[in-house]
């Protein structure tokens, strides 16, 4: 999905890597490349421009946290803006009513009938009693197709093969659904290869007659800008409630997904990701943005850092490391910060300077427990001045922490090595001090 867009965005954002700060100059190039990637993906130019302008403002207004790199922060900013572009939060379909009526419209070949079957299947799995209605009076094959899908999904299909009046069929179907106490009626309508007045009139009449709780417009995502234009035309006539984007499993360039919401001002509610009945997903703008960027991990890392990482503390620590004053109190406070953020394995790289070393020591999450216990058994004075830890103090600490003297000795040895490494790195770094963490 969106392979080429993902690659280009990744490339654009990578151009920020290694930069210590997001500045007017380096952000301008990145933003230009992001815009080009979006336009190449068939995103409407105006939409691409407005979103990249927002990305730029947002990026320049941000303090780069010590705990994350500018490139990582940029990924998060781009993801947030792409999420907003696609509507921000997911919007559910409205299934109120007895029965709820869902009208499905779109061009021929967009995947309407397939979607109707998929939605029926999805709702049936949620224990709703569903009726599928075949209202395509022009293509007998469409009725058969829906019947096959209904059978696979285990959902009843209502059809009147001889009837040439779509409004009548729809009305009859709803009367039948009420009789049968169905909870949801999904009405699949006729499509044409292109927008056509008669088709529009017919769907509008069906809509008026059955007053659906939800009208969904189905569109093939592979058609890019055309998808957006078709959506506009249907919306003017039908004022639909939501969009279904199909064929996102194909090599769609992503333009439709990214522009439709802004241009039509209607939410995307479902996506189709294959021909099979279960290839349907509720549309989540944030998940889609992360998929487009292909960098879900980085985004959650930055989020967690933004939520939990204490910048003041990080700066204080860097200063202490630089002055070679890093002690057990600092070590303990780092452990606490790490614990707040979740799994150690993912997060070691985020501790300024220390991250890499702890990583090299290959300490697992569990390994931290005795370490923490040992440090907590030291007095604050001992934590600040590990040199005073003689044999009897070590024994007391081992007893207090429920560990052995050997474990205490090991920790002290590792800590001493860590301090030596810090000192060596300080010397290497010259007057600039610590190297940029994990850059």
Q: Does 409 bind ligand GDP (CB under 6 A)?
A: no
Residue 131 tokens read as 């009726």
Residue nearest to ligand GDP (CB): 272
**Coil, strand or helix at 219:** strand
CB of 250 to ligand GDP, least distance (A): 5
Identify which of residues 222 and 298 has a Cβ nearer to ligand GDP in the complex: 222
Asked whether residue 188 is marked as a ligand-binding residue, the answer is yes
Q: How far apart are CA 280 and CA 73, in angstroms?
A: 32
Asked whether residue 392 is marked as a ligand-binding residue, the answer is no
Q: What angle do CA 61, 83, 291 make, to 5 degrees?
A: 115
DSSP character string of 272-331: E-SSSTT-EEE--HHHHHHHHHT-HHHHHHHHHHHHH--HHHHHHHHHHHHTT---HHHH
Q: For ligand GDP, what does the binding mask look like between residues 114 and 133, x meaning CB under 6 A? A: x-------------------
Identify which of residues 27 and 248 has a Cβ nearer to ligand GDP in the complex: 248
Q: Name which position in 6, 30, 83, 113 contacts ligand GDP (CB under 6 A).
A: 113
Identify which of residues 142 and 378 has a Cβ nearer to ligand GDP in the complex: 142
Identify which of residues 151 and 360 has a Cβ nearer to ligand GDP in the complex: 151
Given CA atoms 130, 135, 141, 142 in this order, what sign does their dihedral have? negative
Q: Please say whether the beta carbons of 181 and 129 come within 8 A.
A: yes
Q: Does 377 bind ligand GDP (CB under 6 A)?
A: no
DSSP character string of 228-287: HHHHHHHHHHH--SEEEEE-TTS---SHHHHHHHHHH---EEEEE-SSSTT-EEE--HHH
Q: How far apart are CA 298 and CA 68, in angstroms?
A: 9
Identify which of residues 87 and 111 has a Cβ nearer to ligand GDP in the complex: 111
**CA–CA distance from 412 to each of 41, 247, 318, 361 (Å)?**
56, 59, 21, 14
Asked whether residue 190 is marked as a ligand-binding residue, the answer is yes
Q: Does 267 bind ligand GDP (CB under 6 A)?
A: no
Q: Please say whether the beta carbons of 327 and 385 come within 8 A.
A: yes
Identify which of residues 221 and 334 has a Cβ nearer to ligand GDP in the complex: 221
**CA–CA distance from 263 to each of 82, 98, 228 (Å)?**
14, 33, 7
Residue 321 tokens read as 């490391």
Identify which of residues 244 and 293 has a Cβ nearer to ligand GDP in the complex: 244
Asked whether residue 110 is marked as a ligand-binding residue, the answer is yes
Binding-site size for ligand GDP (CB under 6 A) equals: 18
Q: What angle do CA 122, 126, 131 make, to 5 degrees?
A: 65
Asked whether residue 131 is marked as a ligand-binding residue, the answer is no
Q: How far apart are CA 357 and CA 376, in angstroms?
A: 22
Instruction: Tell me, rounded to whole angstroms, the distance of Cα 134 from its chain centroid.
Output: 35
Please list every residue from 301 through 360 that binds ligand GDP, using CB under 6 A: none
Q: Please say whether the beta carbons of 294 and 331 come within 8 A.
A: no
Contact window for ligand GDP (CB under 6 A) among 197-205, 274-282, 285-293, 321-329: 274-282
Q: Does 150 bind ligand GDP (CB under 6 A)?
A: no
Q: Does 274 bind ligand GDP (CB under 6 A)?
A: yes
Q: How far apart are CA 287 and CA 280, in angstroms?
A: 14
Q: Does 140 bind ligand GDP (CB under 6 A)?
A: no
Identify which of residues 112 and 322 has a Cβ nearer to ligand GDP in the complex: 112
Q: How far apart are CA 25 and CA 32, in angstroms?
A: 11
Asked whether residue 106 is marked as a ligand-binding residue, the answer is yes
Q: Name which position in 112, 253, 304, 394 contacts ligand GDP (CB under 6 A).
A: 112
Q: How far apart are CA 14 and CA 381, in angstroms?
A: 46
Please list every residue from 189 through 208 that binds ligand GDP, using CB under 6 A: 191
CB of 220 to ligand GDP, least distance (A): 8
Q: Does 273 bind ligand GDP (CB under 6 A)?
A: yes
Q: In what order do the strands lie in the sheet with 242-246?
A: 156-158, 130-135, 184-189, 100-106, 214-220, 242-246, 268-272, 280-282
Identify which of residues 71 and 191 has a Cβ nearer to ligand GDP in the complex: 191
Residue 227 tokens read as 């998808």
Q: How far apart are CA 237 and CA 232, in angstroms?
A: 9
Q: Does 279 bind ligand GDP (CB under 6 A)?
A: yes
Q: Does 254 bind ligand GDP (CB under 6 A)?
A: no
CB of 234 to ligand GDP, least distance (A): 13
Please list every residue from 91 through 110 that binds ligand GDP, using CB under 6 A: 106, 108-110
Identify which of residues 108 and 329 has a Cβ nearer to ligand GDP in the complex: 108
Asked whether residue 289 is marked as a ligand-binding residue, the answer is no
Q: For ligand GDP, what does the binding mask look like between residues 210 and 249, x meaning CB under 6 A? A: ------------------------------------xx-x
Residues tagged in the binding site annotation for GTP: 106-113, 188-192, 246-249
Can you give the binding site for ligand GDP, defined by CB under 6 A? 106, 108-114, 191, 246-247, 249-250, 272-275, 279
């Amino acid at each position: 999905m969106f392979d080429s867009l993902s690659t280009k965005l990744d490339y654009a954002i990578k151009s920020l890597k290694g930069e210590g700060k997001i500045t007017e100059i380096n952000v301008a190039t990145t933003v230009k490349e992001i815009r080009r990637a979006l336009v190449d993906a068939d995103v409407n130019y105006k939409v691409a421009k407005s979103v990249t302008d927002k990305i730029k403002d947002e990026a320049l207004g941000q303090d780069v946290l010590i705990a994350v790199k500018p490139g990582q922060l940029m990924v998060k900013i781009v993801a947030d803006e792409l999420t907003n572009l696609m509507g921000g939060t997911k919007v559910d379909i409205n299934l109120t009513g007895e029965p709820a009526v869902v009208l499905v419209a779109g061009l021929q070949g967009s995947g309407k009938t397939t979607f109707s079957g998929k939605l029926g299947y999805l709702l049936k799995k949620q224990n709703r009693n569903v009726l599928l209605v075949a209202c395509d009076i022009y293509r007998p094959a469409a009725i058969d197709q829906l019947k096959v899908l209904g059978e696979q999904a285990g959902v009843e299909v209502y059809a009147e093969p001889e009837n040439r009046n779509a409004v009548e069929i729809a009305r009859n179907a709803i009367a039948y659904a009420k009789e049968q106490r169905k909870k949801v009626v999904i009405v699949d309508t006729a499509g044409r290869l292109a927008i056509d007045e008669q088709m529009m009139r017919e769907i509008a009449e069906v809509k008026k007659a059955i007053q659906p709780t939800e009208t969904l417009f189905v569109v093939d995502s592979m058609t890019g800008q055309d998808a957006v234009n078709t959506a506009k035309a249907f919306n003017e006539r039908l004022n639909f409630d939501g969009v279904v984007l199909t064929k996102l499993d194909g090599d769609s360039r992503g333009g439709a997904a990214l522009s439709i919401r802004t241009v039509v001002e209607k939410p995307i509610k479902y996506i189709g990701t294959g021909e099979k009945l279960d290839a349907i997903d509720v549309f989540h703008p944030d998940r889609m943005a992360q998929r487009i960027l292909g960098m879900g991990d980085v985004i959650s890392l930055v989020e967690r850092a933004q939520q939990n990482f204490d910048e003041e503390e990080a700066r204080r620590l860097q200063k202490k490391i630089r002055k070679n004053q890093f002690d057990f109190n600092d070590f303990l406070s780092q452990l606490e910060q790490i614990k707040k953020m979740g799994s150690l394995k993912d997060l070691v790289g985020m501790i300024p300077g220390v991250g890499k070393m702890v990583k090299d020591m290959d300490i697992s999450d569990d390994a931290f427990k005795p370490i923490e216990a040992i440090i907590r058994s030291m007095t604050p004075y001992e934590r600040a001045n590990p040199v005073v830890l003689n044999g009897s103090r070590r024994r007391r600490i081992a007893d207090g922490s429920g560990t052995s003297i050997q474990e205490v000795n090991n920790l002290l040895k590792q800590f001493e090595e860590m301090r030596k490494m810090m000192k060596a790195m300080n010397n290497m770094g010259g007057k600039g001090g610590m190297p940029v963490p994990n850059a």
